[in-house]
Amino acid sequence: MIDGTKIFCTMSPAATHLMAAITYVADDGSERYGFAQIAVGTPGVVISEDWDALGMRASGSHSITFDGVVLPADALRGGFLAGDPIPYMERNLTAGLFHASASLGIAEMAHQTATRTAAARGGEHDTRTRIAAAEASIELSACRAALSRTASLIDAHRRSNPTHVGTDEEIRALFTEAQATKTFVNEAATRVVDRALAMSGGAGYMSGHPLNRAYRDVRAGAFMHPLGANRAYDLVGDSALGRALKLH
């Protein structure tokens, strides 16, 4: 039986099934962390109409309440000891890259919108516009390179371990690399969008303009898990200093 609340359940208005992270007590008495697949029509599942955010307004990320939801045993997917970071890292190796790629896509769109508009105006562009366009172009190149490199490292690892997840050290290193990339891309993408808005002038500030939406949506990347920016800095810093990595 499940009781609790899940926040930011993306696309919940259209969902037929939900996947919720849960903790539970196994038959041996140990506390474990797993994932439950839950049909939306199950008694006790309530989707709240409460998604009212700064950005990502189209995602329908309402909160879900589980009130005495009874599930069959086969609804449980996976499961590992609560507090063990390695299985969590292995399961979420690529999750940070998905969020980073979304941030990068928003930034690319914003940069393209701003530079095309500026070019269409013709004439001599002021120095600040040229600098902003150059800085954004440089950061976008760095973002693409970082994302490509980290994805390639994960792909190579999985090709080398077709029947096994790899060693703990390998998983730690790859997860840390992915979190460093996610954090860098999220922050660089925000700077690119800010520059695009500055290049656009007042037009981009108006509701309905694509830069207005980009300015709001790109800021969501910093708190998308795993990991949010605050925790990512802790993890990457601990890794650089040779400290034990903690996620729970």
Q: Indicate the pLDDT class of residue 248, thresholds 50, 70 and 90.
A: low
In this model, does residue 60 exceed pLDDT 70?
A: yes
Residue 186 CA to residue 182 CA, distance in Å, equals 6
pLDDT digits (tens, 9 = 90+) for 143-200: 999 999 999 999 999 999 999 999 999 999 999 999 999 999 999 999 999 999 999 9
- Residue 38's CB is within 10 A of a number of other CB atoms, namely 22
Encoded tokens for 191: 């700077």
Query: What was the pLDDT predicted at 92?
Result: 93
DSSP H helical ranges for the chain: 85-91, 95-121, 127-160, 168-200, 210-217, 229-240
- Cα 56 to Cα 223: distance, rounded to the nearest angstrom: 13
CB-count exposure of residue 199 (10 Å: 0-12, 13-18, 19+):
buried
